[in-house]
Structure 1
């Protein structure tokens, strides 16, 4: 199944609205680091329900926020969740971004980058559309070190890229993005029961659940356009 078909089905079933609930615990900390200034142009790549772009507008008074998604129904739903004229949604391909060179101040992507058909091509496109000094904030929970995420591939029909932290840094640099920072953001909002509650329906051992949420969390890589 294509990315478009997979996530059109998600949007049609209303699963897009759950994205914020699942990702906000770590996304808000990454968003809080972005050096967005009033009037900046921001691209939310793989926007899903559009929650991140709306938060950027509300927090930073960005000039324009574009949300791009490969699934038309996702973009349609996201547009229906706001009446802000400075937030717009487009359907597009990660490998051919519909923006002019040096047109974007900042790119944000949360739990979407690994769906790119060619992640290296996507990084080159991001570097192209970013103005010199512009930033790319890329957050992923599906990555090599997070062994508890590996099974996610079996639950979705779209092929996903599973890089480790070093591969992210190398790919960013190869695309012309200086790696300004990289770290993991723990999820401290998921409730972890005490030892007596284990095994649960989802976890055999409490140690694994602690590792998944408190240690691995979201891998954030920040690139700066040269």
Structure 2
């Protein structure tokens, strides 16, 4: 199944809103770190419901925000959820971004980058569209060290890129970025039941659930385009 078909189905089922609620636990902390100044242009890759583009406008006063997604249904929903003429959503591919060179100040992606068919190519495209000194904040829950997420690949027909911390840094550098920082953001909002309520439908052991959300959480890698 293609990325488009998979996520068109998710959008039709209303799963975009569910993703927004879950991702917001850690995405909001990554977004808060972004050095966006008033009137700058921002881009959200794999925008889903469009929440990140709206948040960057509301909290950071970005002058223009774009959300890009490979799913027309996701884009359609994001437009319906948004009442701001300075926020636009486009259907597009990470490997061929529909933006001019040096036209974006900062880019963000939450739980979408590993769906890119050619992740290094996607990073090269980001380098092309980012202005000198621009940043890319790449946030993922699915990565090598987070062992409890590996089974996600079994539940989806799209190939997912499973990189570890160092592979993310190496790929950013290969594409010409400076790696400014890399760390994990714990999810402290997902409720973890007491020990006597395990196993649950999704977890055999409480220790595994604690490790997944409180220790591994979301991996954030920040790249800076050379000035």
State the match for 1:212 in structure 2: 212
Specify the alignment match of 2:116 in structure 1. 116
Question: How far 1:81 moved relative to its partner?
Answer: 0.6
Which deviates more, 10-19 or 121-130? 10-19
Q: Which residue of 1 aligns with 2:23?
A: 23
Q: Which runs of 5 or more residues in structure 2 are unaligned?
A: none
Provide the aligned C-alpha RMSD in A: 0.6
- 1:173 maps to what in 2? 173
Find out whether 1:85 has 2:113 as its counterpart: no
Report how far residue 65 of structure 1 moved. Answer: 0.3
Q: Residues of 2 paired with 1:119 and 1:82: CA distance?
A: 29
SS in 2 for 1:145: coil
Counterparts of 1:45-194 in structure 2 under 5 Å? 45-194=45-194
Offset at residue 200 of structure 1 (A): 1.4
| Cα shift at 1:94 | 0.5
What does the per-residue CA deviation read over 1:144-168, in whole Å, with 9 as the maximum and x for residues that have no partner?
Answer: 0000000000111111000001000
Unpaired runs of 5+ residues, structure 1, are none
Question: What is the SS of the residue equivalent to 1:32?
Answer: helix
Q: 2 CA distance for matches of 1:17 and 1:114?
A: 20
What is the Cα deviation at residue 199 of structure 1?
A: 1.4
Q: C-alpha displacement at 1:201, in angstroms? A: 1.4
Give distance in 2, aligned partners of 1:58 and 1:187.
23
**Partner of residue 14, structure 2:** 14
TM-score w.r.t. length of structure 2: 0.98
User: SS of 2:33's equivalent?
Assistant: coil
CA distance in 2 between counterparts of 1:113 and 1:212 reads: 19
**1:177-207 deviation line (CA, Å, top 9, x unaligned):** 1000000000000111221111111111111
Match of 2:4 in 1: 4
Local SS of the residue matching 1:117: coil
Moved more, 191-200 or 176-185: 191-200
CA distance in structure 2 between the aligned counterparts of 1:32 and 1:220, rounded to whole angstroms: 13
Give the TM-score of the pair, scaled to structure 1.
Answer: 0.99
Aligned length: 226
Q: Provide the rounded CA distance (Å) in 1 between the counterparts of 2:13 and 2:186.
A: 29
TM-aligned CA deviation for residue 107 of structure 1: 0.4
SS at match of 1:97: coil
Q: Distance in 2 between matches of 1:213 and 1:197?
A: 17
Partners of 1:41 and 1:189 in 2: CA distance:
30
